[in-house]
Amino acid sequence: MDIPVFHLDVLNDRVLIAIIAVLHVVINHGMAVGGIPLVAYLERRGLATGDEAWDALAFRILTVFFIVTTTVGALTGVGIWFSAALVNPYAMGSLLRVFFWTWFTEWLVFVTEIVLILAYYLTWKKWRGPRKHAHVRLGGALSAASWATMALIVSILSFMMDPGSWHSDKTLFSGMFNPVYLPQLAFRTPLAMIMAGAFALAIVAWSEEDASMRARAVRTISSWILVWMLPCAAGGFWYARAVPSAMAANLPIALGTQALQAWSRTALAVLGGACAVIAIVALWGARKPNSTRTWALVVPALLSILLIGAFERVREFVRKPYAIAGYLYSNGLRKDDYPLLQRDGLLARATYTRVRRITEANEVDAGREVFLLACTRCHTVDGVNGIRSVLAAMYGDDRPWDREAIASYVGSMHDLRPFMPPFPGNEREKNALAVYLEHLQLHRETLEGAQSTGVVIEP
């Protein structure tokens, strides 16, 4: 509406965010939040036992974590911001107004974290002998800072799912301590520890040449994973209980709820299976580390990536139709602005549009503009989650689509599929959109975003 629409018509904007975000969470959880405590623990064990091999192993794991976190990890963190602001600038802009001080505090902790990790890594070989104790303490401080950055950000993620009392009092504190916050934190913390163990197992499997050290390391890290499994399950249970009760008010009980449940069940089966496999490998490693195979030790790392990717997908999915529950729809439009937009129309109110008034002659163009403004935050024309394939699945592609059927569907889609926002425009625009969608059956076209076409202001 007020910001040019960035749009990727093949990849889909959401896939862009998903790639960057999942990569970041994998690195952040596995190599920082969970990774640093694990390294610090192994380093301490080296100091306590006087066995240099532990120290060397800890440093080797840290080297991988250090290189990845300070490059891809750091940049994908900023990248989530870049991509989310490109794809849904209204959500990002609104979150910033509410959570500025949380982010600012997180930044201070982030600076601390980076300074500490640089110090921790670059002094590893220099702080020897009597200074080793100080170095181990440095690892502890770094662990705390890494966890704190995640703890702050999780408050914003859970706010998006359920702002709780923020709706009425609009304060930072009520926004942060929303109903989903602590359960989600209780789940993510042990999850990060498990992921760190999974990555460490993979590194040991590839890099440790000494058989006896390899066995000891596999046993220790496997036990580490097992220890965190119970808290993770408990946190997951608490979190799962917090989510549906929070979302219940936003999801009308209709057909769509069943669709959601069916989807979650599939996801839960996959997640459950992955958890079980990780547990089995960890048990194997803890009991009979000598007999573990390299491939088996790499499996938990791969599965944990799948696990967290699926988890983030589910978390993003259940939040729909909102970007900020009860306040901003995932199309970037405020719930409160719906009466105005439905009365006057999107095109009449949009800053940038190629069509202002709809006539018989410009219906397809008008429909395209409406699609760009109202649908492209989730749909492409012919790419991922493409609207052509959605319509072909609904109406078949062997007979002509019917604009009236489409228009009537657009009008009621929110009731049929509660994860979709209600149509934000007026009747005339709904019909133009239907004409455009009907037109797509015979005209395969791609829709380009403002990054290539620029913007137009039709007076």
Residues within the interface to other proteins (CB under 8 A): 1-6, 16, 20, 67, 70-72, 74-76, 78-79, 81-83, 85-86, 89-90, 92-94, 96-98, 100-101, 103-104, 107, 110-111, 114-115, 118, 122, 172, 334, 336-337, 339-340, 342-344, 349, 351-352, 449-457, 459
- The least CB distance from residue 121 to other proteins, in Å, is 9
Provide the residue type at 130 as one letter. P
Backbone angles phi, psi at 380, to 5 degrees: -105, 180
Looking at residue 168, its amino acid is: S
Q: How far is the CB of 458 from other proteins (least distance, A)?
A: 10
Q: CA torsion 106→107→113→115, rounded to 10°?
A: -160
* DSSP 8-class letter at 31: I
> 210 or 344, CB closer to other proteins?
344
Least distance from other proteins to the Cβ atom of residue 329, Å: 15
CB atoms near residue 141 (< 10 Å): 16
Residue closer to other proteins by CB (options 91, 202) is 91
Pick between residue 17 and residue 281 the one whose CB is nearest to other proteins: 17
Measured from the CB atom, the residue of 14 and 216 that comes closer to other proteins is 14
- Looking at the Cβ atoms of 109 and 218, the one nearer to other proteins is 109
**Cβ contact 448:7 at 8 Å:** yes
Minimal distance, residue 171 CB to other proteins, in Å = 10
The DSSP element (H or E) to which 322 belongs, if any, is: strand 322-324
CA distance 314 to 112: 32
Three-class secondary structure assignment of 324-344: ECCCEECCCCEHHHHHHHHHH
Task: Name residue 329's beta-bridge partners.
Answer: 322
**124: closest CA among 71, 68, 69, 63?**
63
Question: Pairing mode, if any, of strands 328-329 and 322-324?
Answer: antiparallel
Residue length of the chain: 459
Q: Closest distance between other proteins and the C-beta of residue 179, in Å?
A: 21
Residue closer to other proteins, measured from CB, 76 or 222:
76
Based on CB atoms, which residue is closest to other proteins, 114 or 259? 114
Q: Measured from the CB of residue 23, what is the shortest distance to other proteins in angstroms?
A: 10
Q: What single letter denotes the amino acid at residue 125? A: K
Which residue lies nearer to other proteins by CB, 83 or 155?
A: 83
Closest CB 263 distance from other proteins, rounded Å: 29
Give the nearest distance from C-beta 92 to other proteins in angstroms: 7
How many angstroms separate the CA atoms of 86 and 104, rounded? 21
> CB neighbours (10 Å) of residue 148?
18
CB of 282 to other proteins, least distance (A): 31
| Cβ atoms of 64 and 203 closer than 8 Å | yes
Using alpha carbons, select from 399, 398, 405 the residue that is nearest to residue 437.
405
Nearer to other proteins, 344 or 404 (CB): 344
